[in-house]
Structure 1
């Protein structure tokens, strides 16, 4: 079934949750790619190198990674709307700090606050989506969520170029506009979810909450219990490793594609910058295709194939033998083909989760994503400055190939997980 057709038949409360959570995904992904379209401008304004800006992107990712499990616990044990409110509020504050940052040090602070906000979005989003939709429609909901996220990735280059084209404006005005939009959306979305969506969706199930609070109810006891449960979640930990490798490849491409196309292939700055938008728009369409495939075929097979295609495209880009226009197309594919596997990844994580631990499990997957996000910008930035673009992008391709191989290993060891029986949930 086409995800769009499935979503059209959703009950009103379910459609409301899917719409609001997808909108939050747009906002959070806006924050994640503020730097890549204007790296050269930021380097000049703050008098730092590409490597230093890679460190700044890594700081955001490091804080994001460190807070995944705390947000997952908050979502699973207490309240998902509160988790979402913290996520959107801190994200808007971080973007605002970036907009007014007078120095590189304050820029680092803004990135840290931004990371503290963005960290909560998967831990809030996926439990809300899962409890608002039945198993038979969850693939469509995850596709809509992923599609919206890619639109968020695509928007910053367009917004920044549009705002800076106005007289008397700069990237700071664009960042400020994004911060204001994010803050307003956060207030509206959390108010609507709190008032018009049932507690069965916005709060954890009572039995799941009670189970998490049994035994030693001290802070140390709860942390130890969470760590023990995490250590027993072999398939989820494996999926976290796959996500880490795939994220390393993705952020290697998205962080440095623009500068590679301009400095390595001689493309004009404006055209190269818009390649990011094209990459995420194409990726958004591939997410919808991936949702259909994930409902019809084994998710692990789709995931492994998607990352294998990414590796081929990145190796083609690293070869630097294609004409600039062809390289532009190959670069767009290198950054978008991984989106084909995102609904399959999310469906695997959902199938392997009990209702009491879905927030934590998606936090684990997101930790993998954020470790890749943390490592890729500074490491690949430093490699570009020392060995050049071609060898660096060759290593990006190796990371994608390893993600494909790791997916095969996980599925071989644990299986693809059987499809659960469709269940009716709150709102349906």
Structure 2
């Protein structure tokens, strides 16, 4: 096989991996928003308060966060593909349990099962992408991965409400189960999506010096902990926007709730565009600098909105620009983990490191509503946007610290402790 043919085969293999992993990721994000759109029906049928309904999502993300750190060890031991198959199966089972639920404890059980299924995706997805996708396409692989997750989020509310309206919430739950089963069948048919050698010779993450001293050796790495902090800060900001920006913007700028809710859609669309563009930044700049550029722009817009002085007609475009900035940083955040945190433990630890670091996302999603809910209850709406900017700035600092650690190791040839 000549170089040209080998290149074509390599590109096709990369495309297969990126597509199948993207489908799995879209499914996991879809299930993160299966329950919230059904709250009006669930609250009526089960006489639930807002607190009780919200507890379903708390259970989901707490189980997912703890499970994600554990799932990384499973991925490293048994492989990413079996983990994804198990995760998709659990999502399907959770939707069936939801559709058959007759009481609140069963709803909690469905949320816990869904959280357990959701836990496997980040460690499994990133293990497959890092080990099977060519280094030159990794940036675009991370970009596609983030984009499919956003599409999964966007599809869930539309489909769940669209089915629950005419056919009932139980029918919507069974439709969700069918989506998970479909993704499971597609993944099962792609038997080539499995263990493989780590690509990217010359990349610090792939060239780490030998295996870790033990299963938990990565926990002594400062960079691993700083990456966890980065994702925690990132998600505190994002969760505040996702959950509270419609009410904040409605109160601060006199927008109707329906129009203010469109601001979240504008943010998501901007984020999707930025994620695609961010794939081109990965190979052209250090990840921490790309993150700083995107999140600094997003933080400035959050501060502007917090002043209440932006024109009402400009709120949606500003939210779209904020999403664009965060999206540009997205692929670089994934490369940050690969180049910096993983470099201290080796490619054999992709699963456990990605699992631990990305559990910061679930931790943020579980805790952020509590913090920002306090400001919402107190009517301190500008402080919510200020908080978004503060957490984005803290994420920049965490990314900078990780980048500094990587630079020091490269300059002195030392292994991080």
TM-score, length basis structure 1:
0.80
1:37-76 equivalent positions in 2, closer than 5 A: 47-76=47-76
Q: Distance in 1 between matches of 2:119 and 2:355?
A: 9
Classify 1:183/1:297 alpha carbon distance in 2 versus 1 (closer, same or farther; 3 Å). same
Q: Distance in 1 between matches of 2:162 and 2:112?
A: 27
Classify 1:337/1:321 alpha carbon distance in 2 versus 1 (closer, same or farther; 3 Å). same
SS in 2 for 1:415: helix
SS in 2 for 1:398: helix
Give 1:137 deviation, angstroms: 1.9
Is the Cα–Cα contact under 8 Å of residues 275 and 328 in structure 1 kept in the other structure?
yes
Give 1:390 deviation, angstroms: 3.0
In the alignment, what sits opposite 1:355?
347
Q: Distance in 1 between matches of 2:408 and 2:33?
A: 32
In the alignment, what sits opposite 1:27?
27
How many residues matched?
390
Matched, 1:313 2:339: no
Classify 1:136/1:213 alpha carbon distance in 2 versus 1 (closer, same or farther; 3 Å). closer
Task: Pick from 178, 181, 184 the counterpart of residue 180 of structure 1.
Answer: 178
Give 1:100 deviation, angstroms: 4.9
Matched, 1:248 2:236: yes
Matched, 1:193 2:190: yes
SS in 1 for 2:167: coil
- Larger relative contact order (Cα-Cα within 8 Å, sequence gap ≥ 6): 1
Classify 1:146/1:171 alpha carbon distance in 2 versus 1 (closer, same or farther; 3 Å). same
SS in 2 for 1:34: coil
Is the Cα–Cα contact under 8 Å of residues 55 and 378 in structure 1 kept in the other structure?
no
Classify 1:197/1:368 alpha carbon distance in 2 versus 1 (closer, same or farther; 3 Å). closer
Deviations 1:333-379 (A, max 9, x none): 44553221111111121123221111111112211111111111233
Task: Pick from 285, 288, 300 the counterpart of residue 300 of structure 1.
Answer: 288
Name the Cα RMSD after superposition.
Answer: 3.1
Give 1:71 deviation, angstroms: 1.0
SS in 1 for 2:215: helix
1:369-388 equivalent positions in 2, closer than 5 A: 369-388=361-380
SS in 1 for 2:282: helix
Is the Cα–Cα contact under 8 Å of residues 151 and 281 in structure 1 kept in the other structure?
no
Q: Distance in 2 between matches of 1:197 and 1:318?
A: 46
In the alignment, what sits opposite 1:111?
111
Q: Distance in 1 between matches of 2:131 and 2:231?
A: 23
In the alignment, what sits opposite 1:220?
none
Matched, 1:12 2:12: yes
In the alignment, what sits opposite 2:155?
155
Classify 1:37/1:312 alpha carbon distance in 2 versus 1 (closer, same or farther; 3 Å). farther
In the alignment, what sits opposite 1:208?
none
Q: Distance in 2 between matches of 1:199 and 1:89?
A: 20
Classify 1:192/1:96 alpha carbon distance in 2 versus 1 (closer, same or farther; 3 Å). same
Which runs of 5 or more structure 2 residues have no equivalent in the other structure? 1-6, 199-209, 411-417
Is the Cα–Cα contact under 8 Å of residues 58 and 378 in structure 1 kept in the other structure?
no
Classify 1:40/1:186 alpha carbon distance in 2 versus 1 (closer, same or farther; 3 Å). same
SS in 2 for 1:67: helix
In the alignment, what sits opposite 2:415?
none
Deviations 1:122-151 (A, max 9, x none): 111111111212222211211111121111
Classify 1:266/1:129 alpha carbon distance in 2 versus 1 (closer, same or farther; 3 Å). same
Deviations 1:363-406 (A, max 9, x none): 12211111111111233234422444333333233222211222
In the alignment, what sits opposite 1:395?
387
Deviations 1:65-96 (A, max 9, x none): 11122211111121211100111111222234
Q: Distance in 2 between matches of 1:43 and 1:309?
A: 39
Of 35-44 and 301-310, the range deviating more from structure 2: 35-44
